[in-house]
Amino acid sequence: MKRRAVVFRPLAREDINRIYDNLAERVSELSAFNYVNRILTFCEKLDLMPERGRLRDEIVSDMRTIIFQRKITIAYIITDDEVVIFRVFVKGEDWETKITPP
């Protein structure tokens, strides 16, 4: 098995910050921090076996999506050396229309 670096595109980082901000307002900063850390840890674990995500060629060529805790959709592409995470969406968002190739 080949390990790949996991990298986050700027839009993915903005998505994660948005998730944090929304949770911090509704619940608490500590809860938001912990939840976002769990998302990031989940993403980092894509360094091995990133192919486990669902291939979504019909939306963007070579794009895969994987779900975190039935609430977060993570969109990414696998290259020879990297797993490039380019968007992170909350359940209920019409993410398929917001996706643009990285």
- Residue 102 falls inside a structural domain: no
Tokens of 31: 């809860």
- H-helix or E-strand containing 94? none
Confidence band (pLDDT; 50, 70, 90) for 98?
A: low
pTM value > 0.75: yes
HSE (side-chain half, CA atoms, 13 Å) at 49? 3
Q: Which domain holds residue 82?
A: 5-93
- Residue 45 falls inside a structural domain: yes
- Residue 98 falls inside a structural domain: no
Number of domains the chain is built from: 1
Give the domain CATH number at 32: 3.30.2310.20
pLDDT digits (tens, 9 = 90+) for 15-30: 999 999 999 999 999 9
- Residue 100 falls inside a structural domain: no
- Residues belonging to the chain: 102
pLDDT digits (tens, 9 = 90+) for 44-78: 999 999 999 999 988 888 999 999 999 999 999 99
> Where are the strands (E) in 21-62, listed by range?
54-55
Residue of 47, 44, 78 lying closest to 63 (CA atoms): 78
Residue of 1, 30, 32 lying closest to 16 (CA atoms): 32
- Residue 99 falls inside a structural domain: no
Report the mean per-residue pLDDT for the chain: 92
